[in-house]
């Protein structure tokens, strides 16, 4: 007779609790629905759920089938404790906060060890970097599982608001042996990786970034003198942001968000002189929320970034960039007046900017970038208008701004030019000019053949879908046919291989 198998331990990630269907189950006090969702998203059996919440398997079965209800407050308390429910979710049930639960909920990989410290502490940040890089390197075939589900709403923004709090400081450990020459080599290697999108593709190079991040986290774990630790945290922040950008470009938003958050936590430990780098991470996270159609979250993150930027006397172009993120959010919400106000502020800030020393991440934001973003957002506003005259006026403004961006773009900014051309092609569809739309999309496709950018191909797919209304136009039909058999087909194959 075979020996009994050990009971699987239930681990519910933080991202589970921010799902819309989970929130509804909690608000409805529907334990059956909650158990079904735990089984669906966490792969837990009825026995595993029962062991976690101290219920026999038959009881779990009856609750899941709707034949038994959970109504007693004490029973819900037991369920919350057993499932590792974060405080925000407990409040939906009318339960008191649990002691020892981190702001924003449990660790994404389950409950943290008792001595792991606060989520934003140096030791906890290093531990989480080691964990995510290990999962990423060892389970890359399951890459989408690395970051879990995209976190949205208060579960995200309440965690990010801790960025505004002062750091508790890094303990000065003298046992580390990392020399200056080795530290400079690590910093130089990181600097060489910053412009990956101009020269490299994904695959093995991404593994190199994650591998380097893993090695640096091991060095930080050994304990170094505080000045060395601070420089290591800067490196970890940069490498995490690069990994996030690569994941974002590949369309893996949950993993990108996880790396962005890790980057923000790492730079939080590096000292106040690096706070503007964290503002750049927040700006990227706001853009990601816009790309995933979560404009309210993007607006909240933009405001956190603006608070931090103004506190630390950010250069005017940085403030202008953040105002464009704010305006982008308003445009996606259809809030025309608020969008117009934010755009005016962004334009004034950039016009008033004298020659200033800018952080590296902000040097690409110039008048061309501002015009491109504003033009694309006017197209978004045009699509929300029922009045044909207003719709046409906004679409014309969009075309004017995007053409201005194309005139101002440096030739080396090929990916930015591709985005401009695709945006212009989509605007021409709104204006009812399909031949012009096909012409500029063909130019964008020519650029993309050399770029290999997942984000560019996703925007091309947006045009492909929107142009279906003009499929009888010969030029549009030809362009759609070419895209479907080349770039878009390659994108679909890449997703299947992933």
CA distance 111 to 102: 9
Same domain for 176 and 254: yes
Q: Give the mean pLDDT of 438-442.
A: 94
Q: Which helix (H) or strand (E) holds 257?
A: helix 253-268
Q: Is there a domain that residue 190 lies in?
A: yes
Of the ranges 430-439, 469-478, 485-494, which one carries the lowest mean pLDDT score? 485-494
Same domain, 62 and 128: no
**Please, what is the average pLDDT of the chain?**
82
Query: pTM for this structure?
Result: 0.71
Torsion of CA 417, 368, 263, 168, to 10 degrees: 180
Which band of pLDDT confidence, cut at 50, 70 and 90, is reported for residue 396?
A: very high
Angle of helix 487-497 versus helix 474-485 axis, rounded to 10: 30
User: Is the domain of 155 the same as that of 240?
Assistant: yes
Residues 65 and 150 in one domain: no
Residues 6+ apart with CB under 8 A from 13: 42, 106, 108, 109, 110, 148, 149
Q: Alpha carbon of 361 to those of 255, 277, 349: distances in Å?
A: 21, 8, 18
Residue 141's pLDDT is what?
A: 45
Give the tokens for residue 102.
């981190």
Confidence of residue 111 (pLDDT cuts 50, 70, 90): very low
Q: Indicate whether 136 belongs to any domain.
A: yes
- Comparing 45-49, 264-268, 367-371, 388-392, the range with the smallest average pLDDT is 45-49
Cβ neighbours of 240 (radius 10 Å):
30
Residues 49 and 131 in one domain: no
pLDDT at 338 over 60: yes
Asked which of 237, 270, 303 is the last residue of a domain, the reply is 270
Asked whether residue 6 carries a pLDDT value surpassing 50, the answer given is: no
* Residue 321 DSSP SS3: helix
User: Is residue 136 within 8 Å of 210, Cβ to Cβ?
Assistant: yes
Cα distance between residue 159 and residue 155, in whole Å: 7
> For residue 198, is pLDDT > 60?
no
In-domain check, residue 277: no
Q: Is residue 427, in this structure, part of any structural domain at all?
A: yes
What is the dihedral angle through the alpha carbons of 24, 26, 31, 33, rounded to the nearest 10 degrees?
20
Residue at 335 is within a domain? no
For residue 167, what is the DSSP state?
P
Mean pLDDT score, 364-377? 92
pLDDT for 3 beyond 60: no
Long-range own/partner contacts, residues 469-478 (CB < 8 A, 24 or more apart): 469/429, 470/429, 470/434, 470/437, 473/434, 473/435, 473/438, 475/434, 475/435, 475/438, 475/439, 476/434, 476/435, 476/437, 476/438, 478/438
Same domain for 124 and 85, yes or no, is no
Share of the chain above pLDDT 90, in %: 37
Residue 435, CB-side half-sphere exposure with 13 Å CA sphere? 1
Least confident of 131-140, 214-223, 418-427, 432-441: 131-140
Structural domain contains residue 354: no
CA 10/CA 53 separation, integer angstroms: 10
The total of structural domains in the chain comes to 3
Q: Are 282 and 298 in contact (CB under 8 A)?
A: no
Q: Which conformational region is residue 149 in: left (phi greater than 0), alpha (psi within -120 to 50 degrees), or beta?
A: beta
Placement of tokens 């909690």 in the chain: 26
Q: What is the pLDDT of residue 13?
A: 73
Q: Would you say 324 and 372 are in contact if contact means Cβ atoms under 8 Å apart?
A: no
Q: If you compute the radius of gyration of the chain from its CA atoms, what whole number of angstroms results?
A: 25
Token pair of 374, please?
């504003």
The total number of residues written for the chain in this structure: 498
CA distance 212 to 204: 12
**Residue 131 CB-density burial (10 A; 0-12 exposed, 13-18 middle, 19+ buried):** middle
pLDDT band at residue 134, thresholds of 50, 70 and 90?
confident
Could you tell me if 124 and 92 lie in one domain?
A: no
**Predicted pLDDT at 280:** 94
Q: What is the CATH number of the domain that holds 494?
A: 1.25.40.10
Residues 29 and 126 in one domain: no
What integer pLDDT is reported at residue 386 of this predicted model?
Answer: 87
Query: What are the tokens at 468?
Result: 């279906």
| More confident site: 337 or 117 | 337
Q: What pLDDT shows up at residue 330?
A: 93
pLDDT at residue number 140? 52
d(CA 268, CA 276): 10
| CA gap 10, 286 in Å, rounded | 33
Name, of 17-26, 196-205, 396-405, 458-467, the range with top average pLDDT: 396-405
Q: State the Cα torsion 452-456-457-462 to the nearest 10°.
A: 180
Within this chain, do residues 75 and 140 fall inside the same structural domain, yes or no?
Answer: no
pLDDT class of 108 with cuts at 50, 70, 90: very low
Q: What CA–CA distance (Å, rounded) separates 152 from 276?
A: 24
76 and 153 inside one domain: no
pLDDT of residue 175: 60
Query: The domain that contains 54 carries what CATH number?
Result: 1.10.260.40
Residue pLDDT, tens place only, 291-334: 999 999 999 999 999 999 988 889 999 999 999 999 999 998 88
The position carrying tokens 């957002």 is 377
Higher pLDDT, 495 or 66: 66
Considering only CA atoms, which of 342, 422, 338, 336 is closest in space to residue 382? 336
The residues, any chain, with a CB within 8 Å of residue 495's CB and separated by 6 or more, are 251
Tell me if 217 is assigned to some domain: yes
Q: 120 and 102 in one domain?
A: no
User: Quick check: is 392 in a domain?
Assistant: yes
Considering only 136-150, 207-221, 235-249, which range has the smallest mean pLDDT?
136-150
CB half-sphere exposure, 88, CA atoms < 13 A: 20
- End of a domain among 79, 106, 133? 106
Q: Residue 492 CB: number of other CB atoms within 10 A? A: 13
**In contact, 220 and 121? CB cutoff 8 Å:** no
pLDDT of residue 497: 32
Say yes or no: 82 and 121 in one domain.
no
- Identify the domain containing residue 237 by its residue range: 116-270
Residue at which a domain ends, from 235, 253, 270: 270
Average pLDDT value for residue range 182-193: 83
Q: Is the pLDDT of residue 104 over 50?
A: no
Q: Is the confidence at residue 479, as pLDDT, over 90?
A: yes
């Amino acid at each position: 007779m075979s020996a009994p198998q050990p009971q699987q331990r239930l681990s519910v990630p933080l991202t589970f609790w921010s799902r819309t269907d989970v929130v509804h189950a909690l608000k409805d006090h529907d334990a059956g629905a909650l158990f079904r969702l735990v089984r669906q998203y966490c792969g837990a059996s009825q026995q595993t759920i029962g062991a976690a919440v101290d219920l026999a398997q038959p009881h779990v079965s009856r609750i899941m089938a709707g034949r038994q209800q959970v109504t007693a407050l004490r029973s819900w308390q037991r369920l919350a404790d057993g499932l590792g429910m974060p405080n925000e979710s407990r409040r939906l049930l009318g339960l008191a906060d649990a002691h020892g639960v981190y702001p924003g909920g449990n660790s994404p990989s389950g409950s943290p060890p008792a001595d792991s410290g606060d989520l934003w502490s140096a030791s906890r940040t290093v531990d989480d970097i080691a964990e995510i890089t290990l999962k990423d390197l060892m389970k890359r075939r399951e890459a989408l599982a690395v970051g879990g589900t995209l976190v949205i709403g208060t579960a995200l923004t309440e965690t990010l608001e801790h960025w505004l709090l002062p750091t508790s400081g890094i303990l000065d450990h003298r046992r580390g042996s990392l020399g200056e020459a080795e530290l400079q080599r690590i910093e130089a290697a990181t600097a060489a990786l910053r412009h990956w999108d101009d020269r490299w593709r994904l695959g093995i190079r991404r593994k190199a970034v994650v591998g380097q991040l893993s090695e640096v986290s091991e060095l930080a774990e050994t304990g170094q003198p505080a000045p060395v630790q601070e420089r290591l945290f800067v490196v970890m922040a940069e490498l995490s942001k690069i990994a996030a950008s690569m994941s974002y470009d590949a369309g893996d938003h949950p993993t990108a968000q996880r790396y962005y958050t890790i980057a923000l936590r790492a730079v939080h430990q590096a000292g106040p002189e690096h706070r503007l780098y964290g503002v750049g991470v927040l700006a990227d996270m706001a853009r990601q929320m816009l790309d995933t159609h979560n404009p309210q979250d993007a607006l909240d993150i933009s405001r956190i970034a603006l608070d931090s930027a103004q506190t630390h006397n950010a250069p005017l172009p940085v403030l202008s960039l953040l105002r464009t993120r704010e305006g982008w959010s308003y445009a996606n919400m259809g809030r025309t007046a608020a969008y117009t106000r934010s755009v005016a502020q962004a334009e004034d800030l950039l016009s008033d900017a004298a020659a200033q020393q800018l952080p590296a991440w902000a040097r690409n934001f110039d008048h061309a970038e501002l015009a491109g973003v504003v033009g694309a957002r006017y197209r978004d506003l045009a699509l929300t208008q029922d009045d044909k005259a207003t719709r046409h006026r906004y679409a014309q403004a969009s075309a004017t701004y995007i053409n201005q961006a194309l005139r101002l773009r440096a030739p080396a900014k090929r990916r930015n030019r591709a985005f401009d051309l695709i945006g212009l092609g989509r605007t021409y569809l709104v204006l009812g000019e399909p031949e012009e739309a096909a012409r500029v999309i063909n130019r964008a496709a020519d650029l993309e053949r050399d770029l290999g950018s997942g984000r560019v191909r996703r925007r091309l797919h947006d045009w492909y879908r929107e142009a279906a209304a003009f499929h009888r136009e010969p030029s549009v039909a030809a362009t759609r046919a070419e895209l479907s058999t080349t770039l878009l087909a390659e994108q679909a194959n890449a997703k299947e291989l992933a």
